[in-house]
Amino acid sequence: MPSRPKDPAAPDGFATLDLDARVLSELAALGYEEPTPIQLAAIPPLMAGRDVLAQAATGTGKTAAFALPLLHRLNTGAPPRERTAALVLVPTRELAMQVAEAIHRYGKGLGAVALPIYGGASMETQIRALKRGVDVVIATPGRALDHIRRKTVHLAAVRTVVLDEADEMLDMGFAEDLEAILAATPAEKQVALFSATLAPRISAIAKTHQRDPEVIRIDREAVKPGRASKVMQVAYMVPRAHKMSALGRILDVEHPTSAIVFCRTRNEVDQLAETLNARGYRAEALHGGLSQDQRDRVMKRFRANTSDLLIATDVAARGLDVEHVSHVVNYDVPSAGDAYVHRIGRTGRAGRSGVAITLAEPREHRMLKNIERVTGQKIEVVPVPTVADLKARRLELAQAALREVILGGELDPYRAIVAALAEEFDVLDIAAAAVKQGAASEADAEAEEIPVAAPAREKHPARERAADRAERKAAKPAKPGRVVHAASGGAVTKLYVGGGRKLKIRPGDIVGAIANEMGVDGSVIGAIQIFDRHSIVEVSEAIADEVIAALSATTIKGKKLLVRPDRAGR
Contacts with ligand AMP, residue ranges (CB under 6 A): 32, 35-36, 39, 58-64, 264-265
Q: Please, what is the minimum distance in Å from the beta carbon of residue 36 to ligand AMP?
A: 5
Backbone angles phi, psi at 82, to 5 degrees: -110, 15
Which residues does 99 contact at the CB level (< 8 Å), separation at least 6?
A: 63, 67, 88, 90, 114, 116, 138, 164
Complex with ligand AMP: residue 177 or 314, whichever CB lies closer: 314
Q: Please, what is the minimum distance in Å from the beta carbon of residue 535 to ligand AMP?
A: 31
Residue 168 Cα distances to 59, 301, 333, 432, angstroms: 15, 47, 21, 57
Q: How far is the C-alpha of 82 from the C-alpha of 315, rounded, in Å?
A: 42
Residue 83 Cα distances to 64, 281, 416, 478, 514, angstroms: 21, 51, 84, 70, 50
Q: Please, what is the minimum distance in Å from the beta carbon of residue 421 to ligand AMP?
A: 56
Q: Please, what is the minimum distance in Å from the beta carbon of residue 9 to ligand AMP?
A: 15
Dihedral of CA atoms 520, 523, 529, 532 in degrees, nearest 10, equals 20
Complex with ligand AMP: residue 374 or 453, whichever CB lies closer: 374
- The bridge status of strand 136-139 relative to strand 214-217 is unpaired
β-pair partners for 556: 559
Complex with ligand AMP: residue 152 or 265, whichever CB lies closer: 265
Complex with ligand AMP: residue 25 or 493, whichever CB lies closer: 25
The letter for the amino acid at 386 is: T
Complex with ligand AMP: residue 164 or 308, whichever CB lies closer: 164
Residue 221 Cα distances to 75, 217, 337, 376, angstroms: 39, 9, 9, 11
Q: Provide the 3-class DSSP secondary structure of residue 328.
A: strand
Q: How far is the C-alpha of 404 from the C-alpha of 553, rounded, in Å?
A: 42
Q: Please, what is the minimum distance in Å from the beta carbon of residue 41 to ligand AMP?
A: 13
Q: How far is the C-alpha of 188 from the C-alpha of 181, rounded, in Å?
A: 14
Q: Please, what is the minimum distance in Å from the beta carbon of residue 418 to ligand AMP?
A: 55
Complex with ligand AMP: residue 58 or 375, whichever CB lies closer: 58
- The bridge status of strand 491-497 relative to strand 563-565 is antiparallel
Complex with ligand AMP: residue 61 or 519, whichever CB lies closer: 61
Q: How far is the C-alpha of 130 from the C-alpha of 147, rounded, in Å?
A: 10
Complex with ligand AMP: residue 38 or 513, whichever CB lies closer: 38
Q: Please, what is the minimum distance in Å from the beta carbon of residue 106 to ligand AMP?
A: 9
Q: Please, what is the minimum distance in Å from the beta carbon of residue 203 to ligand AMP?
A: 22
Complex with ligand AMP: residue 19 or 53, whichever CB lies closer: 19
Which residues does 544 contact at the CB level (< 8 Å), separation at least 6?
A: 493, 495, 565
Complex with ligand AMP: residue 62 or 295, whichever CB lies closer: 62
Q: Please, what is the minimum distance in Å from the beta carbon of residue 337 to ligand AMP?
A: 15
Complex with ligand AMP: residue 237 or 453, whichever CB lies closer: 237
H or E element in which residue 191 lies: strand 190-195
Q: Please, what is the minimum distance in Å from the beta carbon of residue 45 to ligand AMP?
A: 17
Q: In 76-109, which positions are buried (b, 16+ CB within 10 angstroms) versus exposed (e)?
A: eeeeeeebbbbbbbbbebebbebbbebbbbbbeb
Complex with ligand AMP: residue 88 or 548, whichever CB lies closer: 88
Q: Please, what is the minimum distance in Å from the beta carbon of residue 415 to ligand AMP?
A: 57
Closest CA to 484 of 513, 531, 527: 527
Complex with ligand AMP: residue 165 or 252, whichever CB lies closer: 165
Q: Please, what is the minimum distance in Å from the beta carbon of residue 387 to ligand AMP?
A: 28
* CB 163, CB 191: distance < 8 Å: yes
Q: Count of alpha carbons within 13 Å of 426, Cβ hemisphere only?
A: 3
Closest CA to 319 of 301, 341, 342: 342
| Residue 469 burial (CB count, 10 A) | 18
* CB 503, CB 461: distance < 8 Å: no
Q: In 226-261, which positions are buried (b, 16+ CB within 10 angstroms) versus exposed (e)?
A: ebbebbebbbbbbeeeebbebbbbbbbbbebebbbb
H or E element in which residue 194 lies: strand 190-195
Q: Please, what is the minimum distance in Å from the beta carbon of residue 3 to ligand AMP?
A: 23
